Structure 1
Amino acid sequence: MAPQKIRDNLAKFPTDPGIYMMKSKSGKILYVGKAKSIRHRVQSYFRPSAKPHGKTGAMLRYVKDVEYIVTANVIEALVLENNLIKKHLPRYNIKLKDNGHYPYLKITVDEPFPSLQVVRNVEKDSAKYFGPYMKPRAMRQTIKLLAKIFPIRTCELQLDEKGNKHRPCLDYHIKCCDAPCADHIDTFAYKSIVKNVVRFLSGDINQVVADIRVKMELAAEELNFELAAKYRDQISMIKDAVAKQNIDTPSAIDEDVVGIAYRDSEACVQVMMVRDGKLLDREHYFLTNVESDLKIEALTAFIQQYYENTSFIPKTIILPNTIEMPNTIGNWLSEKRGGRTNIHVPQRGRKHQLVEMATKNARLILDQKDFNFAVVNDEDPALLNLQKLLGLPRPPQRIEGFDISNLGERFTVASMVVMENGEPEKSEYRHFKIRGVNGQNDYASMREVISRRFRQTTAENRFPDLILIDGGKGQLNSACHVLKQLGLAHFPIIGLAKRFERVYLPEQKDPIVISREDPTLHLIQRIRDEAHRFALHYHRKLRVQNLTHSVLDDIPLVGKKRKKVLLRHFRSIDEIRNATIEKLLAVETINRQVAENIHKHLSYM
């Protein structure tokens, strides 16, 4: 049910194109969407007859307000949606996973002698950008090849058209640069080099070869055989590089072939980059927050986010299925490319076979993702084993461990520690003073701490992939009871009993026995021991504070410094209690108000 504020305003929403932002109670943006008609699109979420998908239904529980921005047309709405998603990272938008800023190649074409640079961000300037390169090693090989064929400079010196008097570097002596820094080449000849570099990186290989061949033939006619041999070697190196590609297609055009595979709430997309009819590269990407029955929405989100960031857009994009607003997105891509871009969904023939190949590769990558992720990112293999052992949908990247510490009936405390990808996240540790339990009762204490941790179920709250309880069946059942009351019984939770190191699961009579040499058990023990250490540390801190507590600590305006001065002057609490106000005023830093507070407070003891 939509909040009254939203229902009252729906009829006032414009029918113009634009974007809408769904917000939580705290004002945080949960979802950003685009629409041809803002009113009709937003109304579709809140109709009584509407049956929202799982993700949408979960989101609508937290939506308390909807704001919108009207745009001049749908293309502007699409661009604005992309920008807002990148800025706010809404929780319920499909996201293109990015493990960092991948490098780009940048050519500073606005300079007299443009340079080739490696950068991490695409700026809004007059330079030309190529990438992103998911494999930095392949990018470095590209730079090395370019330096051999086209001696473009890679330094960042600020050069003028004439009068440059820098000393040539090593690249000049190994013939990887023509040293414009020392005026060894003029701007006209250098711009010819830059032109070929831009064409090469854009995939226009045939035109580059054709231009060099013309220069080679002219040099031969002029009997400049040394220059002709240089051009011949350039053509040979280019052909060798292109010959390494493993797929040829009948048409010599630029195409991106997209395949996508789904599993749970994740998808893998593979993009095969065909340039001049040859497969130059293949890259894969992961999407999060995906539902397998929303394939059109998932593919649309990928196309928007991928081509927003890429520097090159081909003439044809071949997709496995249709997308939302294909004409609008096609027009947007055409504007970015500076020429017509066709979006094609083949049903048969060569292009359909290419889509099937890309989809098959995406599926294989998704099946092997857990292994690949562990190897590439050095993830603890124990997390993967724990996932399989407990039947979790994914490796538990965030694990929260809880422990109770007490000594008799006093100073009962609890701890919560957090492990992210198997490593302590100490900034998120928490300790709790148990307030609502009389005496020594670990079960009741566990119920209190679990309740205090999870009772705030807001959209911004970060929940764990796994909860670990230090204790056996009793402590585990106490925690499960609270989670059930809070409507969070679906949270994965286990208990680890100290004596025999057995793992207990809810509603399962017999524990899981893990070999003492198994790294999975070592991971669980490490989290349990860390929770125990953190709880014990806080418990000891409270005990020390109690032992060193003085009656002077309870007197207003008497801090550590004044307490130290008083004890040094009077030697004992009894002497301070028997002192008159005049004697108290004789003590350094003690004014009349403080003296009266001390006299009044101690006289009643």
Structure 2
Amino acid sequence: MLTSISNLEKQANNLPHGPGVYIFKNPANKAIYVGKSINVRERVYSHLHAHGTKSQEIVQDASAVSSIPVLSELEALLLEAELIKKYLPRYNSSAKDDKHPLYIKITKEEFPKVTVARREEGAGRYFGPFPSSSTVKAVLRQTRRVFPYCSQRRLGKRGCFYSHLGLCNPCPNLVKSEPEKSEYRANIKRIIALLSGKTKRLEKQLLGEMTAASLREDFEAAARIRDQLRQISYITKPYEKPKAYLENPNLVSDIREEELRTLQDILSTYHPSLGTIHRIECYDVAHTGGKNTTCSMVTFINGEPEKNYYRRFRIQKVKRADDYGALKEALSRRLKHLEDWGKPDLIVVDGGKGQVSASLEAVNQASSLGGVPRPPGRWDRYATFGIPVIGLAKREEELVIPTREGGFNVIALGKGSPTTKLLQRMRDEAHRFARAYHFKLRLRELLPSKT
């Protein structure tokens, strides 16, 4: 048993930290369990060290564990269902349950209900079929977080269970006015639009409602609609079908290679001596009116985030709202650690010409890099010791590349291009990491210190 766990741990070390599906196989190379996770490596480790009977039996019978990385949580869910149907693994009880496709049904009545049906029969709107009950449940769970609805078959006089969780709001059992009826029916119409794929029209409508709510200073309603728009973006973002992963288990790495290659093609025009890009660092600044200013450094290796190399900086010298100064300070501190933190192939800053200039200035003023004195003539206007610096301007998603002559090349990125997806993913992660640290500092400032 200990030998088995040791071997599986060695294999788990090579699994990705991102979303995907993992497969335990026995010595006969037969799949005995298929699972999914947003962090495959951590989930497999939890199996190896779990005390539950099922996990212990899986580990005892398994001789190998592998994974298929995917791009999103939804893809992992769909691929898991497909693999369970294909392999019928011994320890997946759901493999025996899903013998028929399922539909999402929206009933036709005064207060339409959202339910699950085995077949299309009776009045109402049907969406599907879906490959498994787990897929349907996941879609409904995500939909309900965006637009609350009722699933209770018969109406009563008390609010249903989900009304207490805010997932059936307004609850038909408690509706007493026409505005409440209209609000519930509007939610149902939005669910139909979402499941029908009419997301652009729905997003446009919600943006109008959010603007109107802000103008009348109903900020609570505006914030709720903003959150709905974010959830819609998450649910409806493009994804690959399970078939694509079954045909090519290396699909994610192929996509990442394409993203890096297209970025390198763009940059090589301005940096002819640029080597292969493997490691990229992205920086973003966060503050509130110049207070509790932070700067994040997130590291992507071969197109994937590597959190072991993330760093966060609490800005100390800049005492006002100055993104350029904060970025300059953070990079000056980072560049003292090239040897122990590693050297990136590319630096990306969230912003335009000002942010890029501040980044280059940080290096120009550094007396040494990573503890090594800066040799004369090794700094130029468009790179930091051979490390190219570029910016991603927010409004038009433009790439800002400094030139040797002191100017800038501004390149409009194609919407949805591989380069755009890679840079947006890094920028969004840097923004998230910077904001998280900033809010932590703000909270620490607001809460009374322990006595």
Q: TM above 0.5, one fold?
A: no
TM-score (norm 1): 0.28
Bigger radius of gyration among the two: 1
TM-score (norm 2): 0.38
